[in-house]
Structure 1
Amino acid sequence: MAAPQNRRSVFLGRLPLPERNYLADALRTETTGGVLLLVAAVTALIWANTPLHGSYETVRSFHLGPAALGLDLSLQHWAADGLLAVFFFVAGIELKRELVAGELRDPKAAILPVVAALCGMAVPALVYTAVATTGGGSLGGWAVPTATDIAFALAVLAVIGTALPSALRAFLLTLAVVDDLFAILIIAVFFTSKLNFAALGFAVVGLAVFWLLLRKGVRGWYVYVPLAVVNWALMYNSGVHATIAGVAMGLMLRCTRHEDEEHSPGEHIEHLVRPLSAGLAVPLFALFSAGVAVTGGALADVFTRPETLGVVLGLVVGKAVGVFGGTWAAARFTRAELNPDLKWPDVLAVAALAGIGFTVSLLIGELAFGDDAVLAGEVKAAVLVGSLTAAVVSGALLKMRDNKYKKLTADEERDEDEDGIPDIYEEHNPEFHLRMAAKYEARAAEHRRLAELAAGRTTQDDGRA
């Protein structure tokens, strides 16, 4: 009998096995990269707040690159515009995969993370705007608290040792992917200054060539890597933020598998590039961007200056309220219902975790207040304080449910028939039940044999006595 058409879908329910395996592989790299990101941020803070702070400024302001091509940039600039293009390239592939094979491929399933992400960006922006307007501050930083840093969020999970079920992790990852998309749009629309239409035109041509080569099935890194660098340089000189080139090329990759393929080209390239992004590009960006002077006075200013207070409240309060409120509203007014194994406080904990806005928030802060070095530094300090506060709050909320999470995760991982597929995915498979029955019968037979041996030894001992 066909399933009724009005059946409600389960929000944060069990993922399909291929999605679960993909998610596990992706999160291992993101978690490791997040730990490196955390180490890089701490190193930058220590370096910038010790007697060696002069060398820190010297290193990150060191210029290199061909001036004739408009690329004589500081190391800090190279990290923000160059290395983060790799990060956004991976984000583009993630977004493409989610659109064609992941949580976003079904509009009905996609509406929940999309609404949650939109509300999770709109509410922090409104919080910042309200604080800045009330205090007479600049409205230029409204976009700073709108971003979520998935690598840092997963690093927090790794540090506090919380075992989130795969559905919650998938929700956080999908939320961050959608969040990245809108952050990219914000950067492209609001932080593009003067346009060089000649460079932009050549960049569009270069991207078209990149797309055409992919469609023709041309292979070879020696073709695509130089072309990608040229496209990045053209996009940088056009006045559009250079990371947009990375996103555009990531979205062009095919992320669906053909019958004769084990992995799609997008999955294969993401597997190769993700460690470079998570293990090198993002940590180096943090190293050259997170080094702000932290003194008692500077920390006090974070909570008194309207721009910085708006960033902190936007990340800590705005993100949690926006993501949770958007999720609740989507579940309330659509056909989705919460997984019965989870509770709404679990969603609130993940919503609070989304307030860790480190990487993209720092980038937007630099773009928004690049003309005011003092305010830019204070906004960076506010991003650090807000992200740290969000990490502590979400960590405390997650720890309160840690034992429940561990039980759910253990159920997901159990593989008693040792066939490499978790038992929970085989509960409706007759062959699985036959294997399990045979295994239990073998165990029972072994127990009977041991009992008979023990009884035999007891009889022999009685006879000797």
Structure 2
Amino acid sequence: MNSKPSNFLADFLKMEAAGGILLMAAMVLAIICANSFLNPVYEGIFSAKILGLSVTTWINDGPMAVFFFLVGLELKREFLDGELSDRKKAMLPIFGAIGGMLFPALIYAALNRGDAAAMRGWAIPTATDIAFALGVLSLLGPKVPASLKVFLASLAIFDDLGAVLIIAFFYTANISFLALALAGGCVLVLAGLNWMHVGKKTPYLIVGLLLWLATLKSGVHATVAGVVLAMFIPLSVKGQPGISPLKSLEHSLHTAVAFIILPLFAFANSGLDLRGMGAEQLLHPVPVGIALGLFVGKQIGVFTLCFAAVKLKIAELPQGSGWTGLYGAGLLCGIGFTMSLFIGSLAFQGGSAAAGFDERVGIIAGSLLSGLAGYLLLDFTAKKAE
């Protein structure tokens, strides 16, 4: 990926803008269903059991694994053949992602210290929704430097990778070592396919499906399998110039992820029933900690560590962008939505309402505030520059 985006990147960013709007529509529709006469139908559909698991659980463990597979493909391509192959350009989003995960977690922990149950949600405000964030940024069109879009996309990908590690280490169930051993065997097969320069996608996807099943049964969250599989998909095929299984899969998955998987996830998980919810529930330390973590912690964390990296000459500002533009991108990183909802479902597993709070209040409030503030700041900056 160059400083000037290719047609592919331009198309991708346009798609993410449309995907972000669709995500918003799915969230609004879910809230309408949850607060109207449609509530019994909405709850009945997503709580229905299939093979012992609810429909919501299947959505979170199945299609979302495809989303993480796409994240893994993007990350690998960027490191091997994109913006992140340049160390100085890679360091800025890495530092931003670290700050954008650390500061929100600290704010949440400060507000919920002493409550062991609430502390399970410490990772909820550490997430960034790549589709929503890029969607808001893309609404500004050519006013925003292409390099800033690349920076935000790279930071969000690192953020998602951090989320995968958090899920793997902190939100796993009881471990089945037999299933984990089978998953390890699948990884060895994938490594063998890659080592033998197998260029066909089908063998990787078949083994990847077996890896997903083994991971699902192992107690490690099944979405981790998506990222692991992506690491073994070859970028190029030996003796076949111009053939890239990785880029081919990445391109073909974008539409399904942006327009089907993420909106379906949003619709299934953001049905927040506000009826009967009073100030005690709205101002509970959990939703307040999440909202402040996303809106305050993200912008401060991203900007502070990026500022330090640039001043220490470890990294450099995105070409054509100043400090204000960087701060605006940091604000947009507070749009946690999809990933925050996902981590919230793992942290509280539907039991938060019984505890007197709903984490989705903080997720939606923090994400909307971050998106609006980021858009207004970047729009103001662009108009001032003109």
Q: Please report the TM-score for the alignment, with normalisation by the length of structure 1.
A: 0.77
Q: CA deviation at 1:154?
A: 2.2
Residue 79 of structure 2 aligns with which residue?
A: 99
The amino acid across from 1:38 in the alignment is: M
**For the residues of structure 2 that align with 1:324 and 1:194, how far apart are their CA atoms?**
38
Per-residue CA deviations over 1:319-348 (Å, capped at 9, x if unaligned) read 000001111111111154446843211111
Q: CA deviation at 1:109?
A: 2.8
**For the residues of structure 1 that align with 2:327 and 2:25, how far apart are their CA atoms?**
27
Residues 228-247 of structure 1: pairs in structure 2 closer than 5 A: 228-247=208-227
The one of 318, 322, 328 equivalent to 2:297 is 318
Q: CA deviation at 1:153?
A: 1.2
**For the residues of structure 2 that align with 1:339 and 1:110, how far apart are their CA atoms?**
11
Residue 334 of structure 1 aligns with which residue?
A: 313
**For the residues of structure 2 that align with 1:376 and 1:226, how far apart are their CA atoms?**
44
The amino acid across from 2:34 in the alignment is: A
**For the residues of structure 2 that align with 1:379 and 1:86, how far apart are their CA atoms?**
25
Residue 369 of structure 2 aligns with which residue?
A: 389
- Tell me the secondary structure at the aligned position of residue 287 of structure 2: helix
Residues 155-174 of structure 1: pairs in structure 2 closer than 5 A: 155-158=135-138, 163-174=143-154
Q: CA deviation at 1:239?
A: 0.1
Residues 132-211 of structure 1: pairs in structure 2 closer than 5 A: 132-133=112-113, 138-158=118-138, 163-211=143-191
**For the residues of structure 1 that align with 2:324 and 2:126, how far apart are their CA atoms?**
22
Q: Please report the TM-score for the alignment, with normalisation by the length of structure 2.
A: 0.92
**For the residues of structure 1 that align with 2:356 and 2:237, how far apart are their CA atoms?**
45
**Counterparts in 2 of 1:294 and 1:207: CA distance versus 1, 3 Å:** same
Residues 212-361 of structure 1: pairs in structure 2 closer than 5 A: 212-218=192-198, 220=200, 222-256=202-236, 260-295=240-275, 297-298=277-278, 300-301=279-280, 303-334=282-313, 336-338=315-317, 341-361=320-340
Residue 117 of structure 1 aligns with which residue?
A: 97
Residue 30 of structure 2 aligns with which residue?
A: 44
**Counterparts in 2 of 1:286 and 1:335: CA distance versus 1, 3 Å:** closer
Count of equivalent residues? 385
Per-residue CA deviations over 1:151-181 (Å, capped at 9, x if unaligned) read 0112223556674221000000000011111
TM-align CA RMSD: 2.5
Q: CA deviation at 1:252?
A: 1.2
Contact 1:292–1:377, Cα closer than 8 Å, also in 2: no
The amino acid across from 1:328 in the alignment is: F
**Counterparts in 2 of 1:319 and 1:162: CA distance versus 1, 3 Å:** farther
**For the residues of structure 2 that align with 1:122 and 1:144, how far apart are their CA atoms?**
12
Q: CA deviation at 1:377?
A: 6.5
Q: CA deviation at 1:35?
A: 2.2
- Tell me the secondary structure at the aligned position of residue 104 of structure 1: helix
Contact 1:113–1:171, Cα closer than 8 Å, also in 2: yes
**Counterparts in 2 of 1:335 and 1:21: CA distance versus 1, 3 Å:** farther
Residue 45 of structure 2 aligns with which residue?
A: 59
Q: CA deviation at 1:282?
A: 1.1
**For the residues of structure 2 that align with 1:211 and 1:32, how far apart are their CA atoms?**
36
Residue 382 of structure 2 aligns with which residue?
A: 402
**For the residues of structure 2 that align with 1:88 and 1:103, how far apart are their CA atoms?**
20
**Counterparts in 2 of 1:218 and 1:230: CA distance versus 1, 3 Å:** same
**For the residues of structure 2 that align with 1:130 and 1:166, how far apart are their CA atoms?**
37
**For the residues of structure 2 that align with 1:383 and 1:200, how far apart are their CA atoms?**
33
Residue 368 of structure 1 aligns with which residue?
A: 347
Q: CA deviation at 1:385?
A: 1.0
Per-residue CA deviations over 1:201-226 (Å, capped at 9, x if unaligned) read 11111232233234434455554444
The amino acid across from 2:217 in the alignment is: N
The amino acid across from 2:17 in the alignment is: T
**Counterparts in 2 of 1:335 and 1:380: CA distance versus 1, 3 Å:** closer
Q: Please, which runs of 5 or more residues in structure 2 have no aligned partner?
A: none
**Counterparts in 2 of 1:219 and 1:105: CA distance versus 1, 3 Å:** closer
Contact 1:153–1:353, Cα closer than 8 Å, also in 2: yes
Q: Which one has a bigger Cα radius of gyration?
A: 1
Q: CA deviation at 1:193?
A: 2.3
Residue 434 of structure 1 aligns with which residue?
A: none
**For the residues of structure 2 that align with 1:31 and 1:295, how far apart are their CA atoms?**
32
**Counterparts in 2 of 1:29 and 1:306: CA distance versus 1, 3 Å:** same
**Counterparts in 2 of 1:233 and 1:399: CA distance versus 1, 3 Å:** same
Q: CA deviation at 1:23?
A: 2.8
**Counterparts in 2 of 1:246 and 1:136: CA distance versus 1, 3 Å:** closer
